[in-house]
Structure 1
Amino acid sequence: MCGFLGEYLFDTGVALTQQDVFLKLLALSKHRGPDATETSKSDYYQLGFNRLAILDLSELGNQPKFSPSKRYLVVFNGEIYNYTSLKERYHLENLKSSSDTEVLVHLLDVIGVVNTIGELNGMFSIAIIDTYKQCLYLSRDFAGIKPMFYGVSDQGVVMASQFDQLFKHPWFKSQLQLRPELMKEYFAFGYMQAPNTIYNHIFQLKPGQLLKISSNATIEELELNELCSTKRLDLKEEDDIIIDIKNQIEHAVEQQMVSDVSLATFLSGGIDSPLITAIAKSKNTKIEAFTLAVSDKTLDESETASAYADHLNIQHHIEHVNTNELLNSVNEHFEYLSEPFGDYSSIPTYLLTKKTRQKHTVMLSGDGADELFFGYPRMLDVVNKQFWFKLPFNLRKPIIRLLNKLNIINTWAPYNYKTIDEWLLGKHSHILKPALDSFFPRIPFSDAILALYSIDIKTSKSLLQDLRRNEFYGHLQRVLVKVDRMSMANSLEVRVPFLDKQLINESMNFHPKQFNSKKDLKRLLKKLMTNYYPEPLIAHEKRGFTVPIHTWLRGALKKDVLHVIFNSPFYGESNIDVIEVRNYVSQYLDHKHDSAWGVWHIYAWQKWAIKQQLV
């Protein structure tokens, strides 16, 4: 895993930024790639790269890297898991290194940019300069595992692995303009949803997107074959697809265990990482597993994880942390968040990756399974209450009110939300609509977020497909931001076998046989688990990777919360009703509501702005 920065000029007669400025910005991502730093420059581009060496540890794996013909110059963050098969299929010869980057640049010469990107299976963000046509290509993997930010100015385009490398760049720094609707979305969801960021003219590449940018300032989105579709006409039930899914997971794990540095797995008490760990053990009997143990027994999963490890007879490292260690990491972990990000499980993630990096450079995780295999109770809740939203709103409201008063039902969602789209958006928002609207009066959500929360309830299949699409391109993206930023803070690569391109495509063919109770959540994966573990061991529910946030915000962190929210200038105050925001936090501290998530979003916003010297 690595970090890069690049500039590409339009035909405007301006110059690239001075080298000392460029290198200072490139150094912001040094923790992503501490092993080597190199740059390449011409009269219309400059690229810089910080390398974390994983495959071919020699200098031959360094970047930026030219293709053999010298037509293409590449910076590439990530891993291509099918690089060996691509080398064989296209008979690539005279490779100077054994890295996946070497295969990538050779493949560009043989089949061109669009076909090459379409062939890749991995996690990646790639910037390619075509020196013949003097154009730029930007590409991101199909699940959005690796970050790609880019900004478009009058001078040209800047692309980078980190948000701060964009908004601190001279082409943007002097004219930063916040987008109120994106601020609203951050305060609701705790992250910036691609393709947008909180600033005008600065964007994120969408998962699976390929852009071509020309010197005349035109930006074209290119069509790719084999992209992961979330709309399938011929869906299969689990009995018909379980063997195919099993084979794909096993293949994905095997491919992602290729590394020239030491590799291990994360192991929780749930379903996903134990399944990955069991398969990894079947491929390498010496594989090790790591679990974070916390002092709060209601949050600790180490005992269940140990039972899994004992059954596998695997070397298991339990990394014990106490509350003080977690609290002492709060400020430190904010140092590595170059963008506003409000998921407090980033703190234990930071600590676990910091500890595992002392022994290994690459880890396998179980992220992505909940989204692809219907693992969230909130999905179940929507399915079980969908029929209410098929009734006209004016008819539905009095029925809901009456049935609640009679204690026949206990739900106000169909009463408070006119459409199922609005309800789903509300379920994912950590600040309820009345409070959010008071923060941002008359500010709507962006078209992109409304499209993401557009749900079809005509049939059960269409509903489930749309719920999965929403989770995949919504909540999963926040999870991936957390894991990427916190692992790369510690120069640790985390691979996610469930987000293998072929496995995603196969899972999109899957439709649950039934989905109406908790036992149906991830039922297919639970069935697969019986191949590796005794059934009584699988019955445990995952507790979640979290911290005692209520206790912290109202106790140990209260002084800092008051300082950054009440006694510091509020960033973006011209776009938000700061009085309402502070009143919301005060009410939480006075136990008048319990939205710790919402308060953390506000706190994290201010911590980020203060760290970046924006206020």
Structure 2
Amino acid sequence: MCGLLGEYSFVNNLSDSESFANLLSLSKHRGPDSTKIETGEKYRLGFNRLALLDLSSAGEQPKKSPSERYHLVYNGEVYNYRELIVKYDLQNLESTSDTEVILHLLDSIGVVKTMQQLNGMFAIVIVDIETYTLYLTRDFAGIKPLFYGINDIGVVFASQFDQVFKHSWFTENLKLRPKIVREYFAFGYMQAPNTLYENIFQINPGELLKITNDGKIIKENILHFPKESLLNTHYDLSKCRKALQKSVKLQLNCDRPLASFLSGGVDSTLITAYAKETKDDIEGFTLKVNDEKLNESEFAKSYAQHLNLNHTNVEIDENELVSIVEEHFEAFSEPFGDYSSIPTYMVTKKAAQYHTAMLSGDGGDELFWGYPRMYDVLKKAWWFKLPLFLRKNLVKVTNKFGITNTFAPFTKSLEQFCMDKHIKLPSEILDSLFKTGYSVEMSSNLYRLDKKYNKRQLQQFLRWNEFYGHMQRILIKVDRTSMKNSLEVRIPFLDKEVIEESWKTYFPLDNLKDLKRPLKSQVQHLIPQNLIMQKKKGFSVPIVLWLRNQLKPDLIKTVLNSNLYGNEHFDQIKLKEYVQAFLEEKHNNGWGVWHIYAWQKWANKCVLNKKNI
């Protein structure tokens, strides 16, 4: 895990070397072990390393392929690198790092075929010195970040958003994109390939970008999981289990201390149990909170005892969580409005005191229909087969007589109903804040559903939507908070083979107990039924209470008493009135208010602060 920065000039005019080094230092927390910068004709590459494989200097980057045709910087882990050594009979490797394998493959089979062979989490930048072509690519699940900006001067690429927009090629002409600003206020994060600024983007998950010497861009999908799939009720679920066991085994390979996050949930328990099969001394790591409504540590403790697992249980109280809110904002170089980032920052900070890498159970909910909102959409989808005027009148009658209790039929479309489940500032509020025509751009692709669909197709669409939507927000949260603490988090559920196998599975969601049925059945073979927590509590924070009490003075200072960044694109008076109404308890949308608060905290820290970097 590391932080990378680079620039590629179309006009052979690189930035000042000192400024480049200062920009690179912004991601030093992502790679505290070593820093290295190399400059070639028309390009410069910088790298901050967090060493996890081959801790010697032989594992440092930037690095060239044996032929010296390809110059590379790479953030992440390729888990199948040992298999690739055998498959392609790679010889004369100078290190035991996965980076070395990528470089040899580039010489052997070229860029595109190499990227197609990789299984892992990665953001990779390659300069082909022979043709002076730049390649940017990102893993198929979107675990590792890769931002880039492009203009007439050239391309800047980096692990962090601020390293691009603070680069001298872009600072003078930063222009907000109002549609994406609205998208942030709705969803709380920037959805790839968009960013807030013109000419600055993110690489899509599974995408390879080829940029030629004259600035031409060619895009290619290395791996993109489709909305449609071969959903099969007779699928052999043991294939998925074996893929997950293999994934966990591969991801245990590490030359630094590694453990596994263990909550009371199905996903992390399954990952930890499979890790125990390979690594007998694997440690489970649990954060204990002093709120019984949220605390899952007793369940985790019972699982650990049953598995005969080494277990670290770190206890914190609410005051300690509140105290790190300001510090936790330092983890984000982009606006990010999911307040569960606070406990995630805390648990990664605590884990980093003991370990350098952790296994996580993220991804299970998205791959195996784990969210109640998915079931709710399936249950209510039939309403949207009816015309809007008819279902509006019908539901008034059914609600009146207690047959139903829903407002779903009043929503314009099923796509809008799905999207509203992910939006934290309601559409009517956004419409009043933003100028006409600033619709949420994401709705044109991520929430587009074919007009003709059956229940099985809709269920698959919901998985695809969560994978490329909500899960991306989770991955941003985990990557930014963990890497701020110089901790690598590995996610076995998002192994290429696990995703491919899960994408073939189908099981009807006839009730809420069906959610994640295959994973629950696997856990029940490992943990006695009487020990398994029947309903996950979730590690969250009482954000409404905090914003009205402990965080209220800073909320007032940051939002109500400030000139809000980007207000030329939205009505800041109405926005402040919405926050004031929350403080006066006229509504309880703490999450929506947090989006606003987090926006201005980011702007104050990363944009409006003119202090030299």
Question: TM-score, with normalisation over the residues of structure 1?
Answer: 0.97
1:294 maps onto 2:292 in alignment: no
Residue matched to 1:520: 514
Q: 1:235 aligns with which of 220, 231, 236?
A: 231
Q: Which is further off, 454-463 or 394-403?
A: 454-463
- Report the AA paired with residue 500 of structure 1: D
The 3-state SS of whatever aligns with 1:56 is: coil
Instruction: Determine if contact 2:175/2:198 at 8 Å carries over to the other structure.
Output: yes
Q: 1:80 aligns with which of 71, 78, 81?
A: 78
Percent of aligned pairs with the same amino acid: 53
- Report the AA paired with residue 571 of structure 2: D
Instruction: Determine if contact 1:228/1:505 at 8 Å carries over to the other structure.
Output: no
The superposition leaves residues 272-293 of structure 1 with CA deviations (integer Å, 9 ceiling, x where unpaired) of 0000000001111100011111
1:495 maps onto 2:479 in alignment: no
Residue matched to 1:181: 179
The superposition leaves residues 496-525 of structure 1 with CA deviations (integer Å, 9 ceiling, x where unpaired) of 00000111011110111x202110110110
Instruction: Determine if contact 1:228/1:501 at 8 Å carries over to the other structure.
Output: no
Alignment of 1:110-509 (within 5 A): 110-224=108-222, 227-237=223-233, 240-415=235-410, 417-456=411-450, 458-509=453-504
- Report the AA paired with residue 173 of structure 1: T
> Which whole-Å CA distance do the structure 2 matches of 1:297 and 1:461 have between them?
38
> Which whole-Å CA distance do the structure 1 matches of 2:604 and 2:582 have between them?
22
- RMSD over aligned CA atoms reads 1.2
Residue matched to 2:595: 601
> Which whole-Å CA distance do the structure 2 matches of 1:105 and 1:55 have between them?
15
- Report the AA paired with residue 229 of structure 1: F
> Which whole-Å CA distance do the structure 1 matches of 2:362 and 2:221 have between them?
27
> Which whole-Å CA distance do the structure 2 matches of 1:46 and 1:440 have between them?
40
The 3-state SS of whatever aligns with 2:370 is: coil
Residue matched to 2:572: 578
Q: CA deviation at 1:233?
A: 4.7
Q: 1:59 aligns with which of 57, 64, 76?
A: 57
Q: CA deviation at 1:441?
A: 3.0
Q: CA deviation at 1:458?
A: 1.4
> Which whole-Å CA distance do the structure 1 matches of 2:143 and 2:216 have between them?
27
Residue matched to 1:19: 17
Query: Structure 2 stretches of 5 or more lacking a match?
Result: none
Residue matched to 2:98: 100
1:7 maps onto 2:40 in alignment: no
Q: CA deviation at 1:19?
A: 0.3
- Report the AA paired with residue 203 of structure 1: F
- Report the AA paired with residue 585 of structure 2: H
Q: CA deviation at 1:402?
A: 2.0
> Which whole-Å CA distance do the structure 2 matches of 1:233 and 1:292 have between them?
38
Instruction: Determine if contact 2:78/2:119 at 8 Å carries over to the other structure.
Output: yes
> Which whole-Å CA distance do the structure 2 matches of 1:544 and 1:241 have between them?
31
The 3-state SS of whatever aligns with 2:568 is: helix
The superposition leaves residues 323-343 of structure 1 with CA deviations (integer Å, 9 ceiling, x where unpaired) of 111111011011121000011
Instruction: Determine if contact 1:182/1:445 at 8 Å carries over to the other structure.
Output: no
The 3-state SS of whatever aligns with 2:144 is: coil
The superposition leaves residues 138-194 of structure 1 with CA deviations (integer Å, 9 ceiling, x where unpaired) of 000000000000001110000000000011111111111111111111111110000
Query: Structure 1 stretches of 5 or more lacking a match?
Result: none
> Which whole-Å CA distance do the structure 2 matches of 1:120 and 1:442 have between them?
45
- Report the AA paired with residue 435 of structure 1: I
Instruction: Determine if contact 1:3/1:32 at 8 Å carries over to the other structure.
Output: yes
Q: CA deviation at 1:250?
A: 0.2
Q: CA deviation at 1:232?
A: 4.4
Q: CA deviation at 1:613?
A: 4.1
> Which whole-Å CA distance do the structure 1 matches of 2:550 and 2:599 have between them?
19
1:552 maps onto 2:550 in alignment: no
- Report the AA paired with residue 7 of structure 2: E
- Report the AA paired with residue 401 of structure 1: K
1:545 to 1:539, Cα distance in 2 relative to 1, 3 A: closer
Instruction: Determine if contact 1:210/1:221 at 8 Å carries over to the other structure.
Output: yes
> Which whole-Å CA distance do the structure 2 matches of 1:450 and 1:547 have between them?
33
The superposition leaves residues 362-392 of structure 1 with CA deviations (integer Å, 9 ceiling, x where unpaired) of 1000000000000000000000000000111
> Which whole-Å CA distance do the structure 1 matches of 2:441 and 2:607 have between them?
30
- Report the AA paired with residue 23 of structure 1: A
Q: CA deviation at 1:405?
A: 2.3
The superposition leaves residues 277-310 of structure 1 with CA deviations (integer Å, 9 ceiling, x where unpaired) of 0000111110001111111111111111111111
Instruction: Determine if contact 1:270/1:540 at 8 Å carries over to the other structure.
Output: no
1:121 to 1:330, Cα distance in 2 relative to 1, 3 A: same
Residue matched to 1:565: 559
> Which whole-Å CA distance do the structure 2 matches of 1:355 and 1:242 have between them?
36
Instruction: Determine if contact 1:276/1:365 at 8 Å carries over to the other structure.
Output: yes
Instruction: Determine if contact 1:403/1:409 at 8 Å carries over to the other structure.
Output: yes
Q: Which is further off, 438-447 or 527-536?
A: 438-447
Instruction: Determine if contact 1:333/1:350 at 8 Å carries over to the other structure.
Output: yes
The superposition leaves residues 428-458 of structure 1 with CA deviations (integer Å, 9 ceiling, x where unpaired) of 1011111111111314335444210112461
- Report the AA paired with residue 64 of structure 1: P
Question: TM-score, with normalisation over the residues of structure 2?
Answer: 0.98
Q: CA deviation at 1:408?
A: 1.9
The 3-state SS of whatever aligns with 1:254 is: helix
- Report the AA paired with residue 564 of structure 1: T
Q: 1:38 aligns with which of 36, 46, 62?
A: 36
Q: CA deviation at 1:223?
A: 4.3
The 3-state SS of whatever aligns with 1:573 is: coil
1:140 to 1:522, Cα distance in 2 relative to 1, 3 A: same
> Which whole-Å CA distance do the structure 1 matches of 2:478 and 2:113 have between them?
29
Q: CA deviation at 1:101?
A: 0.1
Instruction: Determine if contact 2:225/2:464 at 8 Å carries over to the other structure.
Output: no
- Report the AA paired with residue 56 of structure 1: D
Q: CA deviation at 1:222?
A: 2.3
The 3-state SS of whatever aligns with 2:74 is: strand
Equivalences, count = 608
Q: 1:535 aligns with which of 487, 509, 529?
A: 529
- Report the AA paired with residue 79 of structure 1: E
- Report the AA paired with residue 290 of structure 2: S
